[in-house]
Amino acid sequence: MSWLKDIQQTITDALEPVDVFVNNYLDVYIWYVGFVFIIAGALLFLWKFKGIQFTTIKDQVKYINPMANIDKGKRDKNSMISSFQAFCVGMGARVGVGNITGVTSAIIMGGAGAIFWMWIFALLGAATSFVECTLGQIFKEKKSDGNFHGGPAYYIKKGLKKRKFALFIAFWIIVTYGVGFIANQAANSASAFTRMDALSGIDGITVILGLIFAAMTAFLIFGGVKKVAMASEIIVPIMVLIWLIIGFIAIIIGWEQIGWAVTQIFENAFNFKQIFAGFAGSCIMWGLKRGVFSNEAGIGSVPNVASSADVPHPIRQGLIQSIGVFVDTIIVCSVTAFMVLCCLPSEFMTNGINMTNGWDGVWMNGDRKSGWAMDTVQAAMSNAFGGDWILWVLASFMFVFAFSSLIAYYSMSEANLRFIKDDHKLVQWLRIVITCVVFFACIIPIDLVWDICDVFMAVMGICNIGALFMLYKYVKVAWDDWKKQKSEGIEEPVFDINNLDQQGLDFTNVTEWGAKQ
């Protein structure tokens, strides 16, 4: 099957000029704008909602408890999606390969200090996630499949009354998540297998893996959005827990390096001479880019799945998704970061080593690429657990992480296609396209996949947060209503626009929250 290798190499060579242009020009300049929008939005919402991500921790924890199904009497279990299921689908989007290779590539590209800035941006971005997910709930619609759908396209159309802009956003979400992000998950998962000695020598292994991944994708997404939610409810909590256990064990094994790792994180984070000498490649920028890629706060993805929940008040889902940012970055990403920093061989940190499959590369003292992230994680885990057997465990986790995210990204894509046109035949075509994307993602250069995702993500962030600037007052109305009911002793507030102080805003396009519900 050597001809398969030749085809793959031809594709790689043909796409190299595209990769150079995207990496050196498009990605750099679009993120200057994206940085300003994302940070400005996070600071604005932190101020307007008085640190809501910190002051409502008790309610956030309460609502993610699957046993606390306060609205179970209202919800039809066989048709509607619960708040916990929506949280799990949202976490399925957040907890993916970004928590492994995304974190590691941030360290590779921006230094250990990128981890500190990932923490800062996560704490700030939780407020943005609260606003966008609450907006998604306020402006959601029930479609012909019997489920609620919402997200940026819906609140732009109904809140801003800008249909053309909404159609563009819906299309861009499909392209970004249904193509770009799904390709990233598949490519990184495949790389975990193809870079192991036991598999790397097999001719056409990427094609074989592509076919396997595509078949599994088709099996999942042709089952429909309800099965997507049910699968996430089972997979995500188990996946996160086991990964955390493995990570903590690795950190304990490398405990002697914990002090060094902490020192590196904080020293590098505040090396302002290095930061401002090349801001596009600094720890601040890479902390933001990879942090946002992982927790997805502000880029309009999670509101698509948060809107699917059948809840008594929009604020409830906003609070649930806010804590999701914390779980993803402060907990899961941190475990991965410390595992890498504490467990890498010392020679890997200084002079570079002969990486997996004999591929030579330098981690800290030379040209850096996001595509090296898998080799770096593999080296750390192999060193910690004393053998290459752990690489099979890592590959298994990459596979599960990738597919949990893929489930969520498909759900987002379907919701936005139904926004453009609620047609079952088009949904079937979308499923076919996504299945093909998964296959081809396994055979194209992984660095190009990362670069394209970065560009798509920046555009989404700019457009989505621009809309949030103009619509956040609707969230303020809902927040004031929730607080008022709480102050009156109502344990579980219910949102009804007919009994609401609308504060001069137009709620005529809010269709799912009247007494008729």
Q: What is the pLDDT of residues 411-449, one digit of tens each?
A: 788 888 988 988 889 989 999 999 999 998 888 878 888
Residue with tokens 């929009």: 314
Residue 98 region, left (φ>0) first, then alpha (ψ -120 to 50), else beta?
Answer: alpha
Reading the block at residue 92, the tokens are 């399925």
Q: Which DSSP category does 357 fall into? A: G
Please state, in angstroms and rounded to a whole number, the distance separating the CA atoms of residues 28 and 25: 5
Rg of the chain over all Cα atoms, to the nearest angstrom:
22
- 87 found inside a domain: yes
- 506 found inside a domain: no
Reading the block at residue 470, the tokens are 């103009």
How crowded is the C-beta side of 91, counted as CA atoms within 13 Å?
A: 30
* Structure confidence at residue 182 (pLDDT): 92
- 511 found inside a domain: no
Compute the C-alpha angle 442/443/444, nearest 5°: 105
The answer to whether the CB of 67 falls within 8 A of the CB of 214 is no
Reading the block at residue 448, the tokens are 């190009």
- 395 found inside a domain: yes
How many distinct structural domains can be found in the chain?
A: 1
* Structure confidence at residue 38 (pLDDT): 93
* Structure confidence at residue 360 (pLDDT): 38
Please state, in angstroms and rounded to a whole number, the distance separating the CA atoms of residues 246 and 332: 11
* Structure confidence at residue 234 (pLDDT): 73
- 513 found inside a domain: no
Please state, in angstroms and rounded to a whole number, the distance separating the CA atoms of residues 301 and 459: 12
* Structure confidence at residue 42 (pLDDT): 95
* Structure confidence at residue 355 (pLDDT): 34
What residue numbers bound the domain in which 170 lies?
A: 2-499
Q: pTM value?
A: 0.86
- 510 found inside a domain: no
Between strands 148-149 and 141-142, the pairing is antiparallel
Q: Flag residues of the chain having pLDDT under 70.
A: 1-25, 66-83, 85, 89-90, 92-93, 195-204, 224-233, 236, 273-281, 345-371, 515-517
- 509 found inside a domain: no
Query: Any idea what the CATH number is for the domain that residue 172 is in?
Result: 1.20.1740.10
The answer to whether the CB of 329 falls within 8 A of the CB of 295 is yes
Q: How far is CA 159 from CA 135, 139, 299, 303, 469, in A?
A: 9, 8, 18, 15, 12
Reading the block at residue 306, the tokens are 């948060």
Q: Of 188, 220, 221, 224, whose CA–CA distance to 206 is shortest?
A: 188
Q: Report residue 363: phi and psi, to 5°.
A: -85, -50
* Structure confidence at residue 426 (pLDDT): 92
* Structure confidence at residue 225 (pLDDT): 55
* Structure confidence at residue 414 (pLDDT): 84
The answer to whether the CB of 107 falls within 8 A of the CB of 337 is yes
Q: Report residue 247: phi and psi, to 5°.
A: -60, -45
Q: Of 373, 346, 356, 332, whose CA–CA distance to 247 is shortest?
A: 332
Compute the C-alpha angle 372/373/376, nearest 5°: 90
* Structure confidence at residue 356 (pLDDT): 32
Separation of CA 382 from chain center: 27
Q: What is the 3-state secondary structure (H, E, C) of 398-463?
A: HHHHHHHHHHHHHHHHHHHHHHHCCCHHHHHHHHHHHHHHHHHHCCCCHHHHHHHHHHHHHHHHHH
* Structure confidence at residue 366 (pLDDT): 47
- 512 found inside a domain: no
